[in-house]
């Protein structure tokens, strides 16, 4: 019995040590602090400055004792050392905490953040009052972090009392699968989740979620949901949805595409809006098993289009000038269409022959094929 009691005590001590270690097991994150250089106005090309910075991260608030135990490196300015409180442990992911001595490091960037009311219509209810809350009078920062091996992408909004270096995470938006590959025709889930600090005044004051598609400089709205009024914005996109129950219960804002298509390939931006705050992450979707048209494929499509156009013009001329009876003309037209339909199908199945035919048909003097039916 005494041996069992001893084992039990050891287990309790080990568990306590594990819990205390896990509480302080968040990474020390090296980042770049990026901002506009002072003294420069707006424009297309604004000079930016970047400084090395460091974030010590805990799930519990810092005390003078815990801060005194930390030893920042000498090559980083004290003004760029931050003691971050992250109650939900959003930064405390293995993807942001590589093994000691690892060459690969997570990417991290800190920027000054200016709270503001959003201009999109599905967020207008979040800022009905034109007054700026006193809560916003503080130093705000946005942090964008990317984990190792495409395991995580994270965007956090932090608030610190003015002139303080102890910010606290207020809003966190993340994706555990920033790169998704899917086969054509299969359903797709694009991961996105968010968390709001329960002790913050913005908690419970409403939210909005937006998914937007971006590809080669062009974009479209895929889905937008006004959580304060419980309604979706009208979009032209079909087959896209989110789990409303999961959205409210766990902050699951993942986008569900019922059936992946070629046009779905590209980058999707998940944005979460709170009153005067927003954070967003990007998810790249690649539809595998589909290749871009080659030059020969493009020539094939052009040749088919020109061939069909010539056929239509020829038939129009035939109908207007033929003296044959209606039944005879109908039979000839059917024979003509069947012949060219078979020709187009056979040419499309052979890129080389179609390319050669295209050159001979449209770049030289055209001749009627010897076996073509007469009309």
pLDDT tens digit string along 334-345? Answer: 566 666 656 655
Look at residue 292 in the predicted model and tell me its pLDDT: 52
3-state secondary structure at position 50: strand
Look at residue 316 in the predicted model and tell me its pLDDT: 61
Look at residue 102 in the predicted model and tell me its pLDDT: 83
Look at residue 216 in the predicted model and tell me its pLDDT: 81
Contact 47, 122 (CB under 8 A): no
Contact 90, 154 (CB under 8 A): yes
Contact 194, 214 (CB under 8 A): no
Distances (CA, A) of 47 to 21, 31, 43, 111, 253: 42, 19, 10, 14, 35
DSSP string covering 51-106: EEEEEEEESS---HHHHHT----TTS-GGGEEEEE-TT-TT--GGGSPPTT-S---
pTM of the predicted model as reported, rounded to 2 decimal places? 0.71
Look at residue 252 in the predicted model and tell me its pLDDT: 98
pLDDT tens track, the chain, 375 positions: 444 344 333 333 333 333 333 345 799 999 999 998 876 555 556 788 999 999 999 999 999 888 889 989 999 999 999 999 999 999 999 999 988 878 889 999 999 999 998 888 888 888 876 566 889 999 999 999 999 988 999 999 999 999 999 999 999 999 999 999 999 999 999 999 999 999 999 998 899 999 999 988 788 999 999 999 999 999 989 999 999 999 999 999 999 999 999 999 999 999 999 999 999 999 999 998 755 555 655 666 667 667 766 766 666 666 566 555 556 665 666 566 666 656 655 555 544 444 444 434 433 333 344 444 444
Tell which residue, 272, 229, 271, has the closest CA to residue 128.
Answer: 229
Q: CB under 8 Å to 178, separation ≥6 — which residues?
A: 146, 150, 152, 153, 281, 282, 283, 284
């Amino acid at each position: 019995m005494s041996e069992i009691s001893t084992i039990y005590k050891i287990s309790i001590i080990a568990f306590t040590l594990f819990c205390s270690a896990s509480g302080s097991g968040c990474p020390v994150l090296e980042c770049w602090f990026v901002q506009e250089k002072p003294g420069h106005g707006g424009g297309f090309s604004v000079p930016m400055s970047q400084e090395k910075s460091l974030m010590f991260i805990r799930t519990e608030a810092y005390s003078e004792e815990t801060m005194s135990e930390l030893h920042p490196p000498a090559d980083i300015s004290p003004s760029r050392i931050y003691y971050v409180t992250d109650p939900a442990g959003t930064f405390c992911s293995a993807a942001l905490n590589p093994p000691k001595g690892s060459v690969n490091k997570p990417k991290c960037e800190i920027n000054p953040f200016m709270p503001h009311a959003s201009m999109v219509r599905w967020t207008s209810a979040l800022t009905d009052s034109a007054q700026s809350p006193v809560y916003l009078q503080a130093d705000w920062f946005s942090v964008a972090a990317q984990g190792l091996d495409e395991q995580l992408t994270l965007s956090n909004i932090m608030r610190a009392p003015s002139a303080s270096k102890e910010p606290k995470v207020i809003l966190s938006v993340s994706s555990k699968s920033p790169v998704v590959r899917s086969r054509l025709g299969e359903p797709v889930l694009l991961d996105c989740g968010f968390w709001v600090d329960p002790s913050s005044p913005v908690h419970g004051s409403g939210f909005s979620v937006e998914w937007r598609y971006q590809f080669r400089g062009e974009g479209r709205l895929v889905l937008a949901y006004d959580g304060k009024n419980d309604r979706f914005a009208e979009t032209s996109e079909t087959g896209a949805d989110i789990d409303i129950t999961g959205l409210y219960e766990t902050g699951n804002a993942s986008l569900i595409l019922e059936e992946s298509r070629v046009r779905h390939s590209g980058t999707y931006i998940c944005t979460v809006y709170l009153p005067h705050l927003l954070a967003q992450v990007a998810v790249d979707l690649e539809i595998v098993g589909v290749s871009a048209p080659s030059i020969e494929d493009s020539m094939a499509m052009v040749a088919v289009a020109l061939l069909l156009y010539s056929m239509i013009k020829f038939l129009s001329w035939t109908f207007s000038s033929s003296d044959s009876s209606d039944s005879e003309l109908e039979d000839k037209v059917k024979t003509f269409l069947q012949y060219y339909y078979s020709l187009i199908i056979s040419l499309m199945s052979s890129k080389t022959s179609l390319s050669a035919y295209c050159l001979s048909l449209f770049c030289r003097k055209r001749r009627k094929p010897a076996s073509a039916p007469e009309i």
